[in-house]
Amino acid sequence: MNRHLQATGLTHYLLAKFLSKGQKAIDATAGNGQDTLFLAQTVGSSGLVYAFDIQERALLTTQKLLKKNNCLQQVKLILAGHEKINNFVQEPVQAIIYNLGYLPGSNKEIITQGETTLLSLQQGMKLLNSGGIIAVTVYPGHPGGRKEADLIDKYVISLSVQTWQVMKWNRVNGNTAKSPYVLFIYKN
Ligand SMILES: C[S@@+](CC[C@H](N)C(=O)[O-])C[C@H]1O[C@@H](n2cnc3c(N)ncnc32)[C@H](O)[C@@H]1O
């Protein structure tokens, strides 16, 4: 697929319109660090990114990538589940990225779980500035992924339009059931 049409490309493109230098952001699933790097470059050295992952290996890869790109100073790497956001972030943030599922090239059994993802999302939504945005890339195609996708969909559908605008980007041809999709959750 053309990279601009992939979930990551689209997420970065859109979030760049909402996030600027000096602001704060969260990467709730650091993984190999691509999203953390994007956030760190967007907020610059005067901003701050909180990056969570439960795997030390993921944070080490992320750290290396940030160092190579001279962005390490504006990132706090946190070895903890994103369901503990409240323990680590006590200030408003402008953007949050979730890239669910498993770490590519690693143990596919270590995946994000619907219940903890929801707990985290609810905490993140409270921290989000008005005018801020959350991007959640959801992968229904792997074992356990559909269950998580259903939980998240059910939750975001219930959100009040007074406060939230929730948009969904998804494939409409080909294997739609297994294709990743992105939810954008914007706070009015
Ligand atoms: C699809 S990967 C993220 C990809 C990453 N954003 C990137 O740009 O490379 C999903 C990551 O979520 C992590 N993860 C799983 N459960 C988690 C949790 N409760 N809190 C934080 N991270 C979690 C996994 O360890 C894995 O590294």
- What are the residue ranges spanned by the domains of the chain? 3-187
Amino acid identity at 23 = Q
| pLDDT band for position 5 (cuts 50, 70, 90) | confident
* Amino acid of residue 64: K
* Ligand 1 pocket by Cβ (under 6 Å): 29, 31-35, 52-55, 58, 81-83, 99, 101, 103, 110, 112, 116
Dmax (CA) for the chain in angstroms is 43
Which residue's CA lies nearest to atom 9 of ligand 1? 32
**CA-to-CA separations, 103 to 57, 58, 186, in angstroms, rounded:** 10, 8, 26
CATH number attached to the domain at 3-187? 3.40.50.150
**Which of 112, 113, 142 gets mutated to test ligand 1 (max ligand atoms within 8 A of its CB)?**
112
Structure confidence by residue, pLDDT tens digits, 43-65: 999 999 999 999 999 999 999 99
- Alpha carbon of 57 to ligand 1 centroid (Å): 11
State the Cα–Cα distance between residues 99 and 138, nearest whole angstrom.
7
Atom of ligand 1 nearest to the CA of 8: 8
Task: Return the pLDDT at 174.
Answer: 93
Q: Model pTM? A: 0.98
- Of 20-29, 34-43, 106-115, least confident by mean pLDDT is 106-115
With cut-offs at 50, 70 and 90, classify the pLDDT of residue 163: very high
Residue nearest ligand 1's atom 26 by CA: 103
pLDDT reading at 3 higher than 90? no
**Does position 82 have pLDDT exceeding 90, yes or no?**
yes
For the segment 113-126, the average pLDDT, to the nearest whole number, is 98
